[in-house]
Each structure stands twice: as structure tokens, then as C-alpha cells.
Structure 1
Amino acid sequence: MASVALAGCGKSNDAAKPVAAAGAVEKPTLKLGFIKLTDMAPLAIAKEKGFFQEEGLNVTLEPQANWKVLLDGVAGGTLDGAHMLAGQPIAAAAGIGAKAKLIAPLSLDLNGNAITVSNKVWTAIAAKLPKGPDGKVAHPISAAALKGMPLKFGMVFPFSPHNYELRYWLAAGGIQPGFYLPGDLAGTTGAQMQISVTPPPQMPSTLEAGTIDGYSVGEPWNQAAVKKKIGVPVITDAEIFPDNPEKVFGMTEDFAKKNPKTVQALLRALIKAQQWLDAEGGKNRAEAVKILAKSQYVGADPEVIAASMTGKFTFAPGDAREAPGFNIFFDKFAGYPYYSDAVWFLTQMRRWGQIPTDKTDQWYADTAKAVYKPDLYLAAAKSLVDQGVIPAAAVPETDGYKAPQGGFIDGVTYDGKQPNAYLAKFTIGLKAGQTVTPAGVK
């Protein structure tokens, strides 16, 4: 993690003083939702380090039972905003998710997920996996090792990065993960692996019970399997898709229109929290682990949270590997909501049939712009630059699209400005003109 300077950040909650004038925000008392995952960290840090308070906000953070409950809370107005799966507001904009206009003015993090398999599955594949010079299994591990095994995997939500990362990994290994269609909301049509939904905190217990053979989830629930000695993480999402987009801070479009000053205050507080999390190569991560371990946040063993959040990732007892970018919150412009990130999610929705018919490249661009709002992010970030809180170099100069991205596990290059050309590169997945029927693809 790159070193960044902090100015006026990192105060304790008791010492923080509101810097926003009384009445400067339309709605000073707010309720924000989250799921008990490590990547809700910007919300917890903004609360605990006084960044919300500095912006004149009194924020209650409320854990939610699962992603659907959280989504319903935001869409229905019982939550003012939330730590959300990037795919949730994007699917809503595509007309296949929640019947609400949701926006994402800030990306919460990059990377942060992994895929874990049971000890039984690991024992079956470990001996045939390539080894590195140190005698340990070489990474990244290809899903091809699972071919011919009728396995059941858990993931957290149909429109989640976890679902698309799992499917991407399986397909890269030559395994068909299945298609969605109106009568198959589980996405099992033509599948060689069964994939179902399990709430993140329940993943380890569901694996231990034998209901699933593996899962794709965020931390600390992969490390929990290592700690309990019930499973082995086989690949991180950074090994599948380097610096992939993950969670976003989401809200309804209506809330943002009615409360523009409140939204700016929220974004400034969260950007300060993101900077604090990545400051000086991660010097604050140990403190962040202690905060996240509190029962009102993630509520997991500090050792388990630290196993993926302090520069290493533990794949098995005695096999902790360097992973300095596993959780990125501020560096690499992690907070900026790139249109190209939203387009990537839309391509995967189309690839697996959630978007049932072909769309033009312009449709992908327009849909991304309907939900990702970099203008709101930039207004907040530039105000922090003006105040000397974050460096100008931390704010990207961009048209909203990243340069073509490589490093994917299958060697395919992604260009967010050419989504249909990108989809045409895949061996497994829907091609132009194809649709899914109960009998298969036609």
C-alpha cells in the first residue's frame, strides 16, 4: 500500500469536533446499513475515528441479516444508505434487480474476497496441483482441478461480485457454472456445478455441516474456515481479477437529490476513513482490526480478521503469503466509482443470462452512468484537497474509464468501452444473439 499523508484525520471519537456548521446538512441524523464483513471498514472507521462527527453527522450503523434485507432497507427508506454489493445498484439500473433507482457515488474497496473449499475437496485435489520452488502449492490455482466433481458452492447474492468471481474462475477452468433464466433464478441451467446463496457469516457453519463443498465470500469468513480447520482458501479474487471492484456506498437517487449537502458530508467522512485505512503502508490496520472485531461491527476474532487485513493472506495453517493489496480502500483511486467497473458487472450479468438479450455498447455505458456517480465523488474529494486533507494526486483525472485491464486468470483483456467485443472472447458464456431456454442455450 502506498504511503499517503494525513492532515487532520485520525482523531478519537471523543476528541472529534463537528466542523460543519449547524444546519449545513439537510439530514444530520442518519442510519446506515452493513453486512458483517471486513470491507465495511470505512463505515466503522468513519464512526469510531470521528469523521462522521467532523462533518456534522450523527450516524447509527446497523448490521443487516443478509444482502436482500439490506437492499430492501435502502430501497424502502428505512436505511439512508449502506455498504452494498456493487452489483445491487447496477442490477437495479439494468432493470433486473430492485425496483428502485439506486446510485453509487463511492466505491468502498478493491479486492477482498476469496474462494474456499472443504478439507475433503482440498484433500482430493491437493496432490495433483503444481508446486512452487518452496514445495507449496503454486498460485493461482485453476478451477480445472475440480473438473468432474459434482460440487455445491455457496455465494452471497445473485448480483454479487462473489457470484461473478466464482463463475469467472470456474469458466476459466473449463467448468460451466450455469445460466439464469426467468424460471431459474438460481442460475443452474446447464450447470456442471451447483451454486446457491448463503449469507456471509453463515458460510463456515454451512461448509462444516456439509451442505456446501465450498464458497465465495468476503473476509473474515475465508479465514474463519482456516482458523476452524474446516476448509482451505484456494484463490483470492485478486488472483482472478487484479484490483477488481467490490463494495460500494449506495443510496437511492431520491435521497441524494433531497439531501445533496448530507451526501457530500457522508462522502467526505468515508473518503477520510478510506485514507486512514491505507495510510503509510497500512500503519493503522492493526487498530482497524481491533475496531472491526467489536461485536457491533464484524464481531469476529481479531486474529481471524488480521489474517487477511495486515498485508498477508493465510491459505492454510503455516501458509500465509504476502498479499499487500488484498484489501485496498484508498490507494489506486479505490474510492472513485469508475464507469468501466460498472460495465464489467453488466457484462457478467449478460454472460450468465441475468440480462437475457443482447445490448448495445451504448446501453452498457448509459446504464453504468445511471448508477455510478463520479461527479458526486469528485466534489467531495476535491473539497478535501482544498482543505489539505488528501493530496491532489489521490484524485484521478479520467473520463470515468480505466485503461484496458489485463491480469485476469484466463488471460482475457477487458476494455470497458467495448463490452460486446469483450464478451465475444469467452469460450463459456452467452454469445451475441444467444438466449437461454429451459432446454439450454440457443
Structure 2
Amino acid sequence: MKITSSYQKLLTEVKQTQGKWASTLNSVLTSIKPIALGLGLSASMVSIGAQAELGYPEKEELKFGFIKLTDMAPIAIAYEKGYFEDEGLYVTIEAQANWKVLLDGVIDGRLDGAHMLAGQPIAATIGYGTEAHIITPFSMDLNGNAITVSNDVWAKMKPNIAKQADGKPVHPIKADALKPVVDSYTQAGKPFNMGMVFPVSTHNYELRYWLAAGGIHPGYYAPHKGDTSGQIDAQALLSVTPPPQMPSTLEAGTIYGYCVGEPWNQQAVFKGIGVPVVTDYEIWKDNPEKVFGITAEFAEKYPNTTIRLTRALIRAAKWLDDNNNANRPEAVKILSQSNYVGADYDVIANSMTGTFEYEKGDKRSVPDFNVFFRHNATYPYYSDAIWYLTQMRRWGQIADDKPDTWYKDVAAKVYRPDIYAKAAKSLIADKLISAESFPNFETETGFKQPQTHFIDDIVYDGSKPNAYINSFAIGLKQGERL
């Protein structure tokens, strides 16, 4: 039950007096606690000790933006379950037309924060595209994307793919199976067009990674020469298509495949127009996907608000993964509402509830297709940020060499585990989440152990970005410049 406007006003006025009249506040909050509980507020909303120690939010009325994808779920759940209200935050949630509109809204203050592509805060901070200092105290999820191709392309790929005993394709499907198809288009003088959602999106880098691992060059950027197409030397031509438009663009034949988040891969299956061939979990197991982005100025001006919104999002993420995804059917029902994702329940449930359908009828168990809390999914790791920077450099978005120290310095400007730790420790103190659910904050460095689960078997060590960049057969190396 949502707070009534008269009670919200009363509570706001009471909170504003805390600094001057602590003893009065205690008595007032104690007296109104039964009313608060009767109105559906949680006990944590009127917890005197926790609220006083944490500090009340400097800004209470907030507007957050999102794109219609299932991985915006932590924001929707924090709102629907009252976690924002528990923190004294009165939030409006608004869908945005595309990622650029969303980013601009955060920069110009129309939005206080937003569901963002992991690459957006990084790119903005280093000045690639729109320049602004954006930070993230919260990683929204792991995995959640896939690469889909048209039925025609799939039919041409199938002869190149090994089969299981039951006749179904062996997964993961590598881009090696696509290369002869792309080569045939090239020989016929036809461009092989594919879609991704934004130049600094995970989808762009995952699609490029998969293609390059199969010997297909996805093209370079050369912003220092005024070329931001990303198609220099490309064998597959990648361009931007907004996520909800991916299936219709594929159906129209404008593109032959795409990389996008859910539910827009499963939508292609339901419509019978395409086949998802590989998930990002298979390209890079437990890869970071979206983040919650705010300006550095917002975090500095409203530190208590920043910690409190992070608390609410952490609680929402945990709820989404609790009891082996037991809450996912309820989450799918919420997300299917038109004000959130607005896709059919069955389409969203196809991936959100622990399965994923590739070819029609080929539904497989993928319990970690969407991860919101387990595996420390919400922690903003420096090494995650550095991976994105290595891919920006690999494909020319960063034109010149940078020393290893530069990568760490940029990561530390954008990813803010210090804010996350304050929020998490306060949740532990309030007995809302156990300490075992989080990293060990006394020993955590912000760097994951070298990661081995990539489709090309190349190991990623975030502490050695230049060595990693040099390990790829396709892509710019150290010392190279277009």
C-alpha cells in the first residue's frame, strides 16, 4: 500500500526537524509508528536508530529513467515493494525513448538517475560522445542478452553446427558457423547488416567479441578522424537499433541479426521471425550488464539520498534472486505492465524464470540467464569497468595507447564500491541482509580473479589491460592507431 499524501507530508515535516529536535523526533515517531504500520509502511521506515545513523535523504522526490528491458527490474521492484519508501524516497519512474535521451536526461537534471548501459558512465566520463562525469554505486545485473539471426541466416548456419543425439544444435554456437554465410554475402557484393543498441553498449562489445572470435571483423571506430560509424574494415556492418524495434527491423530485412536484451530475443521466437543462437552467458559467463547511473555532482550534493537509493536497489535485487528465483513469476507479472516493459507475460517469463528458448521448441534450462544479486552481481567491480575500456580501445573508440594505470584510474572515478559498501553495511546493521550475502569489505580490492569463461578461451585479468588487448587476433594492439 502506498503512503497517503497527508501522511507523506507529515512524515517529511517530522524528518526535517531531526537535526534540531532529536528528542522530540523520537517521541513523535514512536507515537506515529502504529499509524505508519497500519498504513502499510515497513518497520524499517520508522526505525529511529537506523534512520538517525544513516542520515535522512537530502532530496526525497526523485525521478528515475529506464529503457523497456527486463533488466530494469530492480527499479520496478524497489518501487512496487516499497523499498524506496522505506528509505524516505518518493520516486517516479519513467520509460525513455532511447539510451541517448536517457543519458541526456540524467546529465541535464531532468532525471535524477537511471538504468544505464554499463559503458555509458564510462564513455561519458572519458568524453567519448556526450561528456559528463557519471558514476555508478550499483551494478544492476549479470548476463541477460543474446544474439538473434533471421530464419534465413539460421538455415544457412545450421549445416555448419554440430548436433546432439536428439538432433538439436550443440551449444554454445560460435560465430565460426556464421562466417561462411557472411563470406557468401561479401562475394555477392551484399553488406551483412546487424543491429546493436548503442555504440558503448554491452551488446555492441558482446556482438563484436563473438564475431571476432569466429574470424569475422566487426569494424573499427576512428573518432579522431571524425568516423564514428564503427564500420572501418568491417565484414559485418553493425548499426544502432532501439531494443523494442529489433524484431520488426529484423522482420523487415533491414538487418540479418542483432544483439539485444530481453524480451526482444524471445519475441523473435514467439513471432517466428528469428532464432537466438547464443546468449551472452555463453560468450562471457556472468558478465556485467546494466548499472544504475547518477552524476558525480548528485552523489556529492545528496550523499544520504545516494546511499538510500542504493540500499533500496540492493534489497530489490536480492528479492529478485531469493529462494532460487521463487519471486520471478511475480516479477514477470509486474514487468509485463505497460508502464514497465509492456511485453506479454509468456515472452518475459521465457527467460526470466530460468529457461531460454533458442529455436522454436528448443527450450533449455539457463538458471543464470538473468542474475540480479547472487555471485555479487550488485557490486561495482573496477575490473568490470576496465573490461569495457579494453573493448573501447580494441575497436578504436579510444584512439591512443593508455598505460595500465590509466584504466584503473578511470574505473575508480566511475565505479564507486565505497558508496555501495556504506549502503550494504547499513543493511547488515539493520539485519535486513546478512553479511554473508556480500563481498568481504575488509579484503575486497574491486578486482575479480582472472576470468576464464569466454567463448574464445582467452583469460581476462583486469589488472593487466594492455596484455589483454594484445591477446586478440582481431583488434587494435598496443602501439597501433588507425
If the length of structure 1 is used for normalisation, what is the TM-score? 0.94
Deviation at 1:128, TM superposition (A): 2.5
* Aligned position for 1:181: 222
SS of the residue corresponding to residue 32 of structure 1 reads strand
1:90 pairs with one of 106, 116, 122: 122
Deviation at 1:124, TM superposition (A): 1.2
Deviation at 1:13, TM superposition (A): 13
Paired residues in the alignment total: 425
Matched, 1:347 2:390: yes
Distance 1:146 1:13 in 2: 60
Distance 1:433 1:155 in 2: 28
Distance 2:343 2:356 in 1: 16
Deviation at 1:317, TM superposition (A): 1.8
* Aligned position for 2:34: none
* Aligned position for 1:63: 95
Contact 1:85–1:248 (8 Å) recurs in 2:
yes
* Aligned position for 2:357: 314
Deviations 1:68-107 (A, max 9, x none): 0001001111000000000000112222132111001100
Matched, 1:424 2:456: no
CA RMSD of aligned residues (A): 1.5
Deviations 1:203-259 (A, max 9, x none): 011111111111000000000000000000000000000000100000000001000
* Aligned position for 2:447: 401
* Aligned position for 2:409: 366
Distance 1:198 1:88 in 2: 16
Structure 2: 5+ residue stretches without partners: 1-36, 186-190
Distance 1:51 1:151, change over 3 A: same
Which amino acid in 2 is paired with 1:412? Answer: I
Distance 2:265 2:147 in 1: 7
SS of the residue corresponding to residue 376 of structure 1 reads helix
Structure with greater contact order relative to length (CA < 8 Å, sep ≥ 6): 1
* Aligned position for 1:415: 461
Which amino acid in 2 is paired with 1:204? Answer: P
Distance 1:89 1:97 in 2: 11
Distance 1:16 1:137 in 2: 51
Deviations 1:108-160 (A, max 9, x none): 00000000001111111113311123321011111122221442110000000
2:304 pairs with one of 237, 258, 261: 261
Deviation at 1:24, TM superposition (A): 1.4
Which amino acid in 2 is paired with 1:55? Answer: E
- The percentage of counterpart residues that share the same residue type is 63
Deviation at 1:14, TM superposition (A): 7.0
Distance 1:268 1:178, change over 3 A: same
What pairs up with 1:24-103 in 2 under 5 angstroms?
24-103=56-135
Which amino acid in 1 is paired with 2:325? Answer: G
2:177 pairs with one of 131, 145, 168: 145
* Aligned position for 1:235: 278
* Aligned position for 2:317: 274
Distance 1:87 1:281, change over 3 A: same
Distance 1:338 1:230 in 2: 38
Deviations 1:310-352 (A, max 9, x none): 1111112210111011100000000000000000000000000
Distance 1:346 1:71 in 2: 19
Matched, 1:434 2:480: yes
Distance 2:455 2:131 in 1: 34
Structure 1: 5+ residue stretches without partners: 1-11, 437-442
Q: Which has the higher helix share?
A: 2
Distance 1:334 1:234 in 2: 25
1:293 pairs with one of 321, 336, 340: 336
SS of the residue corresponding to residue 409 of structure 1 reads coil
* Aligned position for 2:164: 132
Distance 2:202 2:161 in 1: 26
Matched, 1:375 2:418: yes
SS of the residue corresponding to residue 137 of structure 2 reads strand
Which amino acid in 2 is paired with 1:405? Answer: Q
Which amino acid in 1 is paired with 2:150? Answer: S
Instruction: List, as ranges, runs of 4+ consecutive aligned residues in structure 1 with deviation greater than 6 Å.
Output: none
If the length of structure 2 is used for normalisation, what is the TM-score? 0.86
Which amino acid in 2 is paired with 1:218? Answer: G
* Aligned position for 2:345: 302
Contact 1:13–1:47 (8 Å) recurs in 2:
no
What pairs up with 1:210-229 in 2 under 5 angstroms?
210-229=253-272
* Aligned position for 1:8: none
SS of the residue corresponding to residue 371 of structure 2 reads coil
Larger displacement relative to structure 2 (130-139 or 80-89): 130-139
Distance 1:291 1:342 in 2: 30
SS of the residue corresponding to residue 221 of structure 1 reads coil
Distance 1:374 1:184, change over 3 A: same
Deviations 1:153-211 (A, max 9, x none): 10000000000000000000001000001222120000000000000011011111111
Contact 1:336–1:377 (8 Å) recurs in 2:
yes
